[in-house]
């Protein structure tokens, strides 16, 4: 009787399910969780065509960390802290639904203090950062929507082939060893196909993409050359 009573108790007093734990992964495919590799822009989606791997050094994946990293490869915050245009949103399939971009960054032309003012005027490379950290897919990876823009006189529209061009420009700046603010990074790149469809269907301004997403793994180097 005692064993039967214990079995019945187990049916009615099961412990509550524990929350999903953070899992070590480069990233999770947003589509598997009902999301998309395209964000939501004014005239369609923009491709999140670069991903900073969740297996990068943890400090790189924080707000301050990614800002220092992008400064090491020639990007910085908006001109005088003024944001032009509305933030875009994305669903990374992590259970958080649509979430606004974490930050927008611009090419700084060699000056992290004022260079983005020049980009705002004459155009250049630009990126938006989205973080995959919801309860259903917490990789910590950063999804970047990268594009090359036209000048302010043309309303910062995307240049022809600007999504592929912007991605390739950022990656070419990044690969290797780069540093800013006394922190040095080792950056490895790998192209991924099958995550993003090629073509222009549903894409902002009807500008086509080649379907390639580049994965960056960013490792902070200590002063003795060891990784952390």
Task: Tell whether 10 is covered by a domain.
Answer: no
Task: Tell whether 172 is covered by a domain.
Answer: yes
Task: Tell whether 21 is covered by a domain.
Answer: no
Range 68-84 average pLDDT? 78
Task: Tell whether 27 is covered by a domain.
Answer: no
Cα separation, 87 vs 170, in Å, equals 21
Task: Tell whether 4 is covered by a domain.
Answer: no
Distances 125 to 39, 97, 185 between C-alpha atoms, Å:
17, 27, 21
pLDDT tens digits, residue range 122-162? 567 989 999 999 999 999 999 999 999 876 665 667 899 99
- Residues 18/181, Cβ–Cβ less than 8 Å: no
Domain count, the chain: 1
Instruction: Using the predicted structure, report yes or no on whether residue 228 has a pLDDT greater than 80.
Output: no
The domain in which residue 79 lies consists of: 33-221
Cα separation, 134 vs 27, in Å, equals 12
Instruction: Using the predicted structure, report yes or no on whether residue 213 has a pLDDT greater than 70.
Output: yes
pLDDT tens digits, residue range 8-60? 344 333 333 333 445 689 999 999 999 999 999 877 899 999 999 999 999 99
Distances 111 to 77, 108, 161, 170, 180 between C-alpha atoms, Å:
11, 5, 26, 16, 12
Task: Tell whether 103 is covered by a domain.
Answer: yes
Task: Tell whether 46 is covered by a domain.
Answer: yes
| Helix-then-strand count for the chain, H and E | 4, 10
Task: Tell whether 20 is covered by a domain.
Answer: no
Tokens representing 127?
């990126």
CB count within 10 Å of CB 7 equals: 9
pLDDT tens digits, residue range 169-207? 999 999 999 999 999 999 999 999 999 999 999 998 899
């Amino acid at each position: 009787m005692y064993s039967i009573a214990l079995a019945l108790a187990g049916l009615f007093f099961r412990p509550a399910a524990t929350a999903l734990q953070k899992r070590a992964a480069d990233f999770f495919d947003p589509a598997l969780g009902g999301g998309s590799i395209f964000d939501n822009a004014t005239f369609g989606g923009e491709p999140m065509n670069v991903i900073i791997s969740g297996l990068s050094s943890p400090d790189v994946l924080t707000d301050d960390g990614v800002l220092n990293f992008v400064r090491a490869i020639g990007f910085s915050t908006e001109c005088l802290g003024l944001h032009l245009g509305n933030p875009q949103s994305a669903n990374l399939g992590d259970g958080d639904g649509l979430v606004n971009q974490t930050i927008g960054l611009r090419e700084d032309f060699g000056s992290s203090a004022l260079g983005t003012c020049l980009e705002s005027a004459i155009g250049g490379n630009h990126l938006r950062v989205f973080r995959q950290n919801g309860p259903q897919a917490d990789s910590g990876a950063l999804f970047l929507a990268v594009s090359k823009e036209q000048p302010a006189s043309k309303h910062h529209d995307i240049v022809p082939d600007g999504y592929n061009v912007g991605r390739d420009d950022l990656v070419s700046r990044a690969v290797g060893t780069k540093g800013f603010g006394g922190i040095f990074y080792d950056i490895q790149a790998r192209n991924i196909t099958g995550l993003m469809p090629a073509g222009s269907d549903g894409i902002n301004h009807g500008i086509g993409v080649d379907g390639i997403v580049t994965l960056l793994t960013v490792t902070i180097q200590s002063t003795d050359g060891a990784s952390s």
